[in-house]
Amino acid sequence: MGVAARPCIVSFIDPDGIVHSTKVHAETLYEAAVLAAQAFREQDCEPGPASVLEVEVRRASVVHSVPMRKVHAWLEGACKSPSQKVVKERLKRLLASSGHGSVG
């Protein structure tokens, strides 16, 4: 049973100081390097033998959409602990100072 392929961002700096990067899905470090080299070659920016490839393995990202009305409601809601009260007060001040309306 193989390792699941993960998204990876692979980048390198060319001799002119230009950073090139691409996203690949790979099961291993070396597979990511080879797939990236192929992608760079297709774009006429193949890394040379002295190039160092940086491989960033990405975990699954999670995106949340929170309406501002829900943020305000949470800030105004009951606190479950003294530490949450401290956090909410800090966030209320931060939101008020950013010009996004008064809370509380």
Q: What is the pLDDT of residues 38-56, one digit of tens each?
A: 999 999 999 999 999 999 9
Tokens of 91: 């966030």
Instruction: Identify the pLDDT of residue 3.
Output: 74
Tokens of 31: 């597979």
For the chain, which residues score pLDDT lower than 50?
103-104
Instruction: Identify the pLDDT of residue 42.
Output: 95
29 vs 70: CA distance, rounded Å: 42
Q: pTM for the complete prediction? A: 0.58
Tokens of 10: 């692979």
